[in-house]
A and B are shown apart, each in its own frame.
Chain A
Amino acid sequence: MAGQIDRHGVQRLLQENAQLVDVLSAKDYEAEHIPRAINIPLKTLGQDVARRLDGERQVIVYCHDYQ
């Protein structure tokens, strides 16, 4: 099961070249997002889209809040 991290953990992992994924809609992502995040809306998350990610690197996913 994926571990939960706080924003300090996010900052630390980003320094270690982690991939940051915003799973909100494209509209929400375009409005504002965390720097370095790429947008993979949850409803599109499948095998093909996941190929955009490097399976050997850390991956951090986030949405708006505790949804």
Chain B
Amino acid sequence: MSARAASRLETLGFRHVHRYQPGRADWFAAGLPREGREAHTPRAADIAQRDVPTCRIDETVGGVRERIQAAGAHVCVVVDDQRVVLGLIDAEGLGSERNGPAERVMDPSPITFRPNLPAGTLPEYIKTPQSRALVTTSDGVLIGLLRLDDAKAHGAGAASSRPRGA
């Protein structure tokens, strides 16, 4: 549609026309602001825990364990210098190792969701035994941690607000 619109504007004499081809889906997936009637619907980014511990991929397991304990957390997200997610470490999976790199104990493919996904729909997607997922932008940059309990709470809230028969 944007291609046709751009072409039409040019035929109408406009000389400075640009196409944002990835569209609003790209904009919202990057966690950028939105307006409109549904703009205030809670999204994944709104309920994600932002202050989740992070570490580098070359940190030692012992150092990661200390970081998790200091934060009173159960997980640590492995990120690069740009906060692009490389993996997820669960405290329960650390074992007794201390000197190995974080890379050895991390899950390199954690479940991730885009920030604009309606919070009420998340329980439909989280069907694995894991109760946690990450929210990242379309560039893979960490926004926060999602817990299934939080997602279910928003899903229950959405269900109770639906009109009867819906």
A positions within 8 Å CB-CB of B: 1-7, 9-10, 13, 18, 21-24, 29-35, 40, 42, 45-47, 50, 53, 55-67
Least CB distance from B163 to A in Å reads 18
The answer on a CB contact under 8 Å between B19 and A2 is yes
Known: A23-B2, A33-B35, A34-B34. A63 touches B18 (CB 8 A): no
Q: Which residues of B lie under 8 Å from residue A3 when comparing CB positions?
A: 18-19
Q: List 22 A-B contacts (CB under 8 A).
A: A2-B6, A3-B18, A5-B18, A6-B20, A6-B26, A10-B27, A22-B24, A23-B2, A31-B36, A32-B28, A34-B32, A34-B35, A42-B1, A42-B4, A45-B8, A53-B9, A58-B17, A63-B1, A63-B5, A63-B23, A64-B24, A65-B26
The interface residues of chain A lying within 8 Å CB-to-CB of B70 are none
Q: Which residues from chain B sit less than 8 Å from chain A, CB to CB?
A: 1-10, 12-28, 30, 32-39
- When distances are taken between beta carbons in the complex, the residues of chain B under 8 Å from A57 are 16
Complex: A43 Cα to B27 Cα, angstroms:
23
Given A34-B24, A67-B23, verify A58-B18 contact (CB < 8 Å): yes
Chain A residues positioned under 8 Å from B38 (CB to CB): 31-32
Contact of A45 among B5, B19, B27, B30 (CB under 8 A): B5
Docked-complex contact B22 and A50, CB < 8 angstroms? no
- Which chain A residues border B34 with CB–CB below 8 Å? 32-35
| With contact pairs A45-B9, A55-B14 given, residues A61 and B19 touching in the complex (Cβ less than 8 Å) | yes
Given contacts A4-B20, A50-B12, A60-B19, 5 further A-B contacts (CB under 8 A): A7-B27, A18-B18, A35-B33, A50-B9, A60-B20
Residues of chain A contacted by B23 (CB below 8 angstroms): 62-67
B19 / chain A contacts, CB cutoff of 8 Å? 2-5, 60-62
What is the minimal beta-carbon distance from B20 to any residue of chain A, in angstroms? 4
**B18 near A29: Cβ-Cβ < 8 Å:** no
A7 adjacent to B14 (CB under 8 Å): no
Cβ B36 vs Cβ A33 within 8 A: yes
Measured CB to CB, the closest approach of chain A to B31, in angstroms, equals 11
Nearest residue, chain A, Cβ from B10: A2
